[in-house]
Amino acid sequence: MTYWLLLHFGIAVAGAWMARHYALRGNLMDHPGERRSHTVATPRGGGIAIVAALLCAGGWLLWNGPDQGQGTLLPAFLVGLVLVAGIGWWDDHRPLSPASRLVVQAVAAGLLAMAAGRDSGDPLAAMIAFAAALVLVNVWNFMDGINGLAASQAAIAACGFAFSLQGDWAWLAAGLLAACLGFLPFNFPRARIFLGDVGSGALGFSLAALLAAGWTRSTAPWPLLCLPLCAFLVDAGFTLLRRMLIGERWWTPHVTHLYQSAARRFGHTAVTVIYAAFGGVTLLLTYLLSQEDARTALAATVCVYMGASAMWGILRRRVRG
């Protein structure tokens, strides 16, 4: 496992370095604006390094992994990853309409769902895979707005999956963890390159695939797998709901998430560390509750989400006040 982690860490480091130089040469930059949280022009597209690491991990596991290529979920994940990352890479170079991106994401989600349903024999697994892919791809895109936040939260979730899953998917989660850690020095505490849509979408899709795999491959009760996703789902979910209720164009870029308001007041580094601390608590709970029955795990997960929702409401009022 140590060599596996070092390999994918190294791929991500090398890939991020090359992506930064590519972006600088091609003027692939995110410029400051009223709908952005950064103040200096910064290269984007660095998430291609994480995609490269995941494709290497998935390709090797497909042929040599513990499961010896059994099942269709892993091949479907790799094809879907190429689709989601590819449309994100295109959007990083030449902005596309939200509808065109959503169509490609839906195709990738459909492939993942069909494979999840076929491998498990459970239609519910297919529905969860489809919903998780569409939701998490866009949540990670919405929440990728300050230094280190999206990559660190993906690393925390990947750590939970690596602990909870079995076979190929535990190894894939470990590869994702190492790749995120390899990218983070380029993005935190000072951002020398951003993930871009290629990276944020790929992270969300990868976590959705791990969540789908957990339906049949988890050693812990399945609801616990949702715990490390809590901070992003609560912030993105309530912010999106609020924007819908007040009639805003919710699909357009904005700076009204809790993490964005907090970053303007306290700085990027402090907010990313606070979110990471909350993620650490969810990891600890995942470990402590991993031997409990499904009913207890579900109740604990619901309680955590309710508590996080209450915290979101309180902190939003205080930060904006």
User: Which of 212, 196, 226, 198 is CA-nearest to residue 82?
Assistant: 198
Domain limits of the chain? 2-320
Residue matched to tokens 């660190």 = 152
What is the per-residue pLDDT for 127? 96
User: Would you say 46 and 185 are in contact if contact means Cβ atoms under 8 Å apart?
Assistant: no
The pLDDT of 92-121, averaged and rounded, is 94
What is the per-residue pLDDT for 34? 56
For residue 305, give Cα distances in angstroms to 35, 157, 173. Answer: 28, 15, 23
What is the per-residue pLDDT for 78? 97
Q: What is the pLDDT of residues 18-54, one digit of tens each?
A: 999 999 999 898 777 655 666 678 899 999 999 999 9
**Cα dihedral 53, 176, 197, 262 in deg (nearest 10):** -140
Q: Mean pLDDT in the chain?
A: 93
Q: Which one is predicted more confidently, 231 or 243?
A: 231
Q: At what angle do helices 294-320 and 230-245 cross, to 10 degrees?
A: 60
Q: Which one is predicted more confidently, 69 or 276?
A: 276
Task: Evaluate if residue 282 carries a pLDDT over 60.
Answer: yes
Predicted confidence band at 68 (pLDDT cuts at 50, 70, 90)?
low
The pLDDT of 284-288, averaged and rounded, is 96
For residue 273, give Cα distances in angstroms to 41, 109, 183, 259, 276. Answer: 23, 31, 16, 11, 5
What is the value of pTM for the model shown?
Answer: 0.95
Predicted confidence band at 69 (pLDDT cuts at 50, 70, 90)?
low
Share of the chain above pLDDT 90, in %: 79
Q: Name every residue whose Cβ is closer than 8 Å to that of residue 63 and which is 6 or more positions away in sequence.
A: 69
User: Which of 233, 241, 1 is CA-nearest to residue 131?
Assistant: 233
Residue matched to tokens 């991106």 = 101
Residue matched to tokens 């791990």 = 210
User: Which of 14, 76, 30, 8 is CA-nearest to residue 200?
Assistant: 30
Share of the chain above pLDDT 70, in %: 97
Q: What is the pLDDT of residues 122-160, one digit of tens each?
A: 999 999 999 999 999 999 999 998 999 999 999 999 999
Lowest mean pLDDT segment, chosen from 28-37, 156-165, 208-217, 259-268: 28-37
